[in-house]
Copies of this chain bind each other. A is one copy, B any other.
């Protein structure tokens, strides 16, 4: 039984991100992460199943947040508006963690295996949102298309937001990306 450690998850996450960037994801060990955080390996494994999980642990909560927001959208909301509401509902979570987000992206960008994992997580997020839309009575292919549109709008907005130091408002960038998608697809047959 180990004693309670204040903010153990946050300290482990920060230590892991530092080490992944200094030494590369594959080289950094759980022992080093725990040591840098001033905690034990045992404590690490209480929070994370493995090294990779440090980068992706938020996925479950994020999926629930999206699915909940889609379910809670007004009956009159069009599919893509329900998705937009979900993305905006989650924006504060990212706003609060901008510096961690930036470090996380640089670790993922340096490692093909992590990129692959991120694609998979993104696909499963799109699929959960499409499910939530179908529960609202949206038919296919509209449900899948709206979910995929949401995912690419978010991805684009998030990358812009991370890379622009003056940019404060992720929600506004999400709306802008959706607006660009509208202009882009307008006027086709």
Contact = CB atoms under 8 A, between A and B. Distances in A.
User: Which residue of A78, A177, A181, A186 has the most chain B CB atoms within 10 A of its CB atom?
Assistant: A181
Contacts of A186: 182, 186
A114 to B, nearest CB: 12
Contacts of A159: 141
A182 B188 contact: yes
B180 A188 contact: no
Interface residues of A, number: 35
A171 to B, nearest CB: 11
Interface in A148-164: 148-149, 152, 155-156, 159-160
A156 B152 contact: no
A184 B149 contact: yes
Interface in A48-79: 78-79
Contact of A116 (B81, B119, B160): B119
Contacts of A177: 141, 145
Interface of A: 78-81, 84, 115-116, 119-120, 123, 141-142, 144-146, 148-149, 152, 155-156, 159-160, 175, 177-182, 184-189
